[in-house]
Structures are given as structure tokens and as C-alpha cells.
Amino acid sequence: MVAAMRLAALASVVPFLSSTFAAGIPPVRRQETSSSAVPTTSPSSSSQLTTVPASTTSLGSAPVTSPSSASSLSSSSDSSFTSSSALTSSAPVVTSNTSSVATTTPIPSTVSATPAPSPTPVSQPSGGIGFNTTPTYKPQSDFDFQSLNLGLHQELIELDLFHHGLAIFNESDFAAAGLSEDDMFLIEFMADQEVGHATLISNILAPNITQQCTYQYPNFTGVRDFIDFCQKVTRFGESGTIGFLAHLDAQDTASLLMDSITTESRQQMVFRQFEGLFPMPFWFVPSITQSMQWTLLSPYISTCPAENPAVDWTIFPPLTILDNPYFPDTPLDNNTEPAITHNRTQATYLGREVLLSWEAPGAQTGFNGSFTTHSSAGQPQFAAWISQLNTTYTALSNITTANGTTNATTIQPGGEVYGNGTAALINGTVYAQLRSLPQCAADLLYRFLLVTDAAPYVTPYNLSEIEPHIVAGPALYSSG
């Protein structure tokens, strides 16, 4: 009942929800018919994101979309919303409804783009790539296709996840977590952003488009638990995407994905702020590989339509951190309310013993049970900590194996990204020296943790060289 009421409210935010999400059917992206500039594919399949061939969208040299079409992509511009009259405070808050005052000014019409003569180009320094080609915004290789398809899976789960939380928790539940209706609307708006991002990637991948799957989330104990999960999902989504952008053959496409992933980075930060954590406790967002991202994402996808394109990334054996700190319940300090920022004290520390457990390869996993976990590594020897620009190794101890599961311990390492006095990699004891950063900035971030059979030197651009050595993982270590 409550969920139904929430859905009714959501349906007014995102019109396509009313007939689809409420019935458990994946959302359909509807294009306003008033736009003649953007032909759509057949609307016959209601379970598909309506797709627009990239070459005919407003990208590149194609016609500019009409204002009505543009506004249809932004459900939040729906006039059914009114900003709260109680909004008089200008004090900083995590979210506030500061929508612009309604205007009666007629929407000005725009002019369609038309071919223009190409006089001498404006001079610029020599070099750079991609200036003498017309962008096509299509995958140029299997690598591109599979990377984008992974990105689409990521967008689709986030879309479903954000709606899921808004559907299972009501205003009182959010209020108990210190979150207002404005904050709830921000989550809904983030879901709308996912619609846009999924549309973008679908346009690029058409006609081979992954459709919405069904998902299996943890049984959230409350809103803070849900928010923490969102923070983790957006963390590996962001790290996975920035890991492959510079490797794409289609750099025109990479530029579009960059435009979407920067938005997703902000989502990740907002979820941290909703938890009262330090918003961006790093100097550099770590990159991970597609197979690392898929290893983290795939357990939450339960079933997918059989017609979905295959996913060709590897799923490594799952790695569990048995003593991972858990933010919502960790008594970091007495101030865990949502905030723009808090000086939250460390959740972990240099020298902490970390308990790891992982499975042998060969287990059936992934959506429709259609994947098998894989590792080509030899004997487990090291824990690899991927953080900032760096991959740091520590030795494994107390290795025991029984019934296909191996346990081991390792010790949380230190190190700073550029040496003394810069951002700590994982060293939680040097706060006094970290004048340039708040103490939580040194410690409160997730790290990707792997078990490996060797300790190769890798950097963000050649991180894939570690993959043959992965015994299990990654897992997200909640160091702060």
C-alpha cells in the first residue's frame, strides 16, 4: 500500500513509470512525438528503451532537437512540481529544492542545424586526435561493444536500484535517516539521469541493446543500509567506466561517456554525504578493469532476457572481507547525520588485521546462472590494494583451505600517493602530518582488494596486467 503510494508519486515524476515499473515491468523510455528531428525505432516492444540510431540524434552534424523533445528528456521539468514555500533558508544543506520560479515566457524556437561551408579551420596547436573525422558514435571493436554493454548493465541496475529504495521506504523512513523529501527527490532525479545515460548507450549500441534485467539486492535493514549500497554500486560503476574510457577504440564515444560518468561521480559523492561521510576522501578516483567491475556487479543481476547480448568479461571468484567495517552501524563517532561534510574519524587503521575468504574458481554464477567464475592464477600470495593511482601489495598469512573456500589474513598497509605529507593510500596513522587534508580524507574511502599470486607493478592505464594473477576479487574494503 505504502509502496503503491510511493509509486503513484513517482509516476508523476517519471511518467513512464506508471504503466511499467509499478507492474514490475521494466521502464520504457518514451520519446515525445512532437519532435520530428529524432526518429525512433519501432515502439512495438514495450520492454525496450526506445532507441535512436546515434547517427540520427542531435549528436554531431544531425539536426538539433526541438525544445519539446529536449524537455521531454528531463522529467523533473514537469510542471506538476512546486517548490516548497518553506524554503527560505539559504544555509548550506545536502539537498534543497531551489527550482527556478515558474515562468510564463513562451519557449523560444530554435533553428535546425544545416550543413555549413568549412572555411580555413581556426588555428590550433598541432597534434591531438579525432579532428579530421566525423564522429559516428558507434563501437569500433568487440572491446568497445563489450565495454559499453557493461556500462549499460551498470546504468540499468542503478536505475532499478534507486527506484527500488524509493519504493520500499517511505518519507518517515527517510526522515529517520535524516533525509528529507528534497533528498528523496534527488534520488529520483538520479534515477532519471540513469534513464538518460541508458538511452545514450542504447543509441550507441543499437540494435544490440541490453534490456532491463531483474535484480537481487541485499535485504536492506533501513534507508541508511540502502544508501550505503548505492554508494558502493556507484563506486564500482564510476571506477570501472573511467578504467576503460581511454582504452576505447571509439574515442568519440568515450567523450560522450565522459559526459555521463562525471554525473555519476556526483551521485556517488551525494550518497556519501547522505551517510554523513567525508564526500571525496581521495585525490584520485581509482580505476578498475571491466572484469573487476563485472565481478562486483554480476552477483546482483538475477535474470536477463535471453535476447540480451552476451557479456564477455570474466567473473573472478568472489572475495569476502569477513571483518569489513560497515558504515551505517559503525560507531565512527556520534555524528553520522547527513551533511555536506563531516570530520568522521577512521573506520580502519594501519596495521589492522583483515580477514579474507574466497572461493575456488569454477562456480556457476551471474544472471541466468550462465557464467562460471574463472581464475588463471597460481597459489595465493598477496593482497592487492587498489587505491588512488596505486596498487599496493601485502603478504597473506594464516592461509587455510577447506570445502572449496580459502581463508587468509593480511595487514592493512600504509603509503601516501606522492610520499610524505600527501594523501594517504591506506596509512591511517599519519593524520598529524596530513596538513593539506582533513583527517578523514586520509582514511575514509573504499579500496578495491584482490588476492593475487604475484605482485606485478601496475598503474591505472595498464591495470589489466594484474588480471592473470587474480586469485579472487575484487571486494570493496570499507576503510572509511
Ligand X SMILES: *[C@@H]1O[C@H](CO)[C@@H](O)[C@H](O)[C@H]1NC(C)=O
According to the binding rule CB under 6 A, does residue 245 interact with ligand X?
no
According to the binding rule CB under 6 A, does residue 381 interact with ligand X?
no
According to the binding rule CB under 6 A, does residue 185 interact with ligand X?
yes
According to the binding rule CB under 6 A, does residue 182 interact with ligand X?
yes
- Binding part of the chain for ligand X, among 25-33, 81-89, 260-268, 274-282 by CB under 6 A, reads 81-89
Give the binding-site size for ligand X (rule: CB under 6 A).
Answer: 51
According to the binding rule CB under 6 A, does residue 74 interact with ligand X?
no
* The only residue of 124, 126, 219, 364 in contact with ligand X, by rule CB under 6 A: 219
* The only residue of 18, 19, 136, 208 in contact with ligand X, by rule CB under 6 A: 208
Site string for ligand X, 17-56 (x = CB under 6 A): ----------------------------------------
Pick 131 or 457: Cβ nearer ligand X: 457
Pick 62 or 417: Cβ nearer ligand X: 417
Pick 40 or 429: Cβ nearer ligand X: 429
Q: Which of residues 94-123 bind ligand X (CB under 6 A)?
A: 97, 99
According to the binding rule CB under 6 A, does residue 170 interact with ligand X?
yes
* The only residue of 370, 436, 459, 462 in contact with ligand X, by rule CB under 6 A: 459
Side chain identity, residue 432: A
Residues 6+ apart with CB under 8 A from 390: 415, 417, 425
According to the binding rule CB under 6 A, does residue 453 interact with ligand X?
no
CB of 179 to ligand X, least distance (A): 11
Distance CA 157, CA 213 (A): 8
Q: Which three cell numbers stand for residue 41?
A: 525505432
Are 226 and 166 a contacting pair, CB within 8 Å? Answer: no
According to the binding rule CB under 6 A, does residue 129 interact with ligand X?
no
CB of 457 to ligand X, least distance (A): 9
According to the binding rule CB under 6 A, does residue 124 interact with ligand X?
no
Q: Which three cell numbers stand for residue 290?
A: 571491466
According to the binding rule CB under 6 A, does residue 178 interact with ligand X?
no
466 alpha-carbon distance from chain centroid = 23
Closest CA to 137 of 238, 28, 62: 62
Residues 6+ apart with CB under 8 A from 266: none
Pick 61 or 398: Cβ nearer ligand X: 398
Pick 413 or 474: Cβ nearer ligand X: 413
Site string for ligand X, 401-420 (x = CB under 6 A): xxx-x-x-x---xxxxxxxx
According to the binding rule CB under 6 A, does residue 343 interact with ligand X?
yes
CB of 434 to ligand X, least distance (A): 7
What does the binding site for ligand X look like in residue numbers (CB under 6 A)?
2, 81, 83-84, 97, 99, 170, 172-173, 181-182, 185, 207-208, 218-219, 309-310, 322, 333-334, 343, 350, 357, 389-390, 397-398, 400-403, 405, 407, 409, 413-420, 425, 427, 429-431, 438-439, 459
